[in-house]
Amino acid sequence: MRILAALFIDTIDLRPVAGPSTRIDLGGIKFSEVPPDGYPATIEPHLVVLVHNPPDGASDGVLEVTYWVGGEQVARNVQPLQVEPGKFNYRLVRAELTVEGPATVEAHVRIGQDEPTVVPLTLLPTA
């Protein structure tokens, strides 16, 4: 299995189309945000991970996402992942993170022991 994309989002909608096939509509893809209530802030960013399994791939794996702020791991999510060979799938990962001030949260996303894909979310200063 391999990660095709990992993004922080506000919304996700699935819709069927002819085929049978499915479309994934992602809304509010973001790389930064201002916490609405200032700092310290507790945020719950939604991370979507799109995965493809090649035709000769194993159908079972493990998705691990670790969240880092300033070089320190602040959260971890591990979940089983099943994708039929030759197919695509997605997972939504949500974490509750507390940050003291402006910082960059890095989500390190990987399947099994693969090198992680790093997805940043910068928390900006409040006005």
Q: Number of C-alpha atoms within 13 angstroms, CB side, residue 54? A: 4
Q: Is the dihedral of CA 106, 52, 78, 49 positive or negative?
A: positive
Q: Where are the domains of the chain?
A: 2-123
**CA–CA separation, 68 and 105 (whole Å):** 6
Q: Please state the pTM of the whole predicted model.
A: 0.93
The reported pLDDT for the residue numbered 121 is 98
Fold of 2-123: Immunoglobulin-like (2.60.40)
Structure tokens at 31: 């790389």
Q: pLDDT truncated to tens, each residue of the chain (127 aa)?
A: 999 999 999 999 999 899 878 899 999 999 999 998 899 999 999 999 999 999 999 999 999 999 999 999 999 999 999 999 999 999 999 999 999 999 999 999 999 999 999 999 999 998 7
Confidence (pLDDT) at 9:
98
Beta strands at 2-9 and 21-27: parallel, antiparallel or unpaired: unpaired
